[in-house]
A = this chain, B = another copy of it.
Amino acid sequence: MVINDRERPVPAVTIADVARLAGVGESTVSRVLRRSGSYSEETRDKVLRAVSALGYVPNRIAGALASTESDLVALIVPSLANIVFPDVLRGASVALESSGFQSVIGVTDYEEAREEDLIASVLAWRPRALILAGLEHTDRSRAMIAASGVRVAEILDLDGQGIDHVVGFSQHAAGRDTARHLVGRGRRRLAYLGIRLPGDSRARKRHEGFLAGLAEAGLSPADQELVPAPSSAEAGRIGLATLLARTPDLDAVYFVNDDMAIGGYFHCLAEGITVPDRLALFGFNGLEVGQALPQPLSTIRTPRYRAGEVAAGLLLAQAPATVVDTGYELVPGATS
C-alpha cells in the first residue's frame, strides 16, 4: 500500500457560467447543448467555445428533474458469476449506449426479496425502463412497477404471464426437447444433474420439462442429483462421479448447464468413459468453450445476447407491450 499524492478541487461550473461567458441566456445554452429549438450558427459557436473553455459538463440530475425524464435504464439480473447474464448485459448495453442511455445494474443472487429491494432503489432514479430476468417477482415488486408506470422487459423465460414486454423462450420446452432428443437416440437410463438453488426458476422449469419429456416416453429418471451452488465445471465432475457411483448403468445425463456438462465430460475423459457410446452428456446454453471440446458438447444454444438486444430495442422504441419468442437451437453436438 502506497499513498498517491493528489489534490481534490471542488469546482461547479453551471449553465449560468456558460451563459455569462458566451453572453447569451441560459435557455439558449440549453437549446444548443440539446440541439433543440432554434439558434443561430454564431450563437452555437459562442456557446460551444464557452463550454470547452470552462470544461462544462451538464448536470443530468438537474436536467432529468426539470424534464421529468431520465436516460437511465435499469437491468436487474440474478448473477454475474457465469457468462449468461453478462451476455445479456452486453446485448442490451450495445443497444442502450448507442442511443445515449446509461445502464444501471443490480444483482439479485437469485433471490426475489433482493430483487424487490433493488427494484425499489432503482425506481427512485426514475429510470426510463427496467429489464428483469424471468417472470417470477414478488407482489410488492409488481405493485411498485405498476405504480411507477415504468416500462419493463422480462427476459429469458416465456412460461407465465408477463408484466409488459417479454423476450425469451420456453425453458420448459427446452427441457422437454432435451428429453425427447435423448430418448430419440435410444437412451433409457437418464439422470438429471442440477444445483441446489431454489431461486433459479428457469432451471426448475427446464427440469420439469425434462421430466415431462421422459414421461411422454413412459420413462422416469433413473437418478437425479443436486449439488451445492454455484454451478461450475468442478461441480459437474463431482456430481457426475456421484451419480455414476450410485447408478452405474446410466446411459445419459442432462446437466443443468454447459459449465456443469463440461466438467462431466472431463470426468469421462479422466475415467476413460466413452462418450457418447457408454454415456451421453447434454448441457444447456451453448457456451463457446463447450463447442471447442474435442467432441462438441450436445446442448441447447440460447439467444442471450439477442434477448438483451431485443428487450432494449422494444423499450427504446416505446413499443406496445410485446411478447417475443426468440426460440433456441438444439445443437446435436457429439456427446449424445
Q: Across the interface, do B323 and A1 meet the contact criterion of CB distance under 8 Å?
A: yes
A57: CB under 8 A from chain B?
Answer: yes
A16: CB under 8 A from chain B?
Answer: no
A141: CB under 8 A from chain B?
Answer: no
Given contacts A11-B149, A291-B234, contact A107 B93 (CB under 8 A): yes
In the assembled complex, which residues on chain B have CB atoms less than 8 Å from the CB atom of A57? 120, 123-124, 144, 147-148
Which chain B residue has the least Cβ–Cβ distance from A258? B289
Q: Across the interface, do A266 and B237 meet the contact criterion of CB distance under 8 Å?
A: no
Q: Annotate A81-104 by CB proximity to B: 1 below 8 A, 0 otherwise.
A: 111011101100110010010111
Tell me the dominant secondary structure on chain A's binding face. mixed
* Interface-facing stretch out of A62-70, A174-182, A188-196, A249-257: A62-70
* Interface-facing stretch out of A17-25, A158-166, A219-227, A274-282: A158-166
In the assembled complex, which residues on chain B have CB atoms less than 8 Å from the CB atom of A149? 8-11
Q: Across the interface, do A321 and B233 meet the contact criterion of CB distance under 8 Å?
A: no
A241: CB under 8 A from chain B?
Answer: no
- Copies of this chain per assembly: 2
A80: CB under 8 A from chain B?
Answer: yes
In the assembled complex, which residues on chain B have CB atoms less than 8 Å from the CB atom of A165? 4
A134: CB under 8 A from chain B?
Answer: no
In the assembled complex, which residues on chain B have CB atoms less than 8 Å from the CB atom of A58? 124
A156: CB under 8 A from chain B?
Answer: no
7 A-B pairs with CB atoms under 8 Å apart are A3-B323, A4-B165, A59-B65, A72-B125, A86-B86, A100-B121, A102-B106
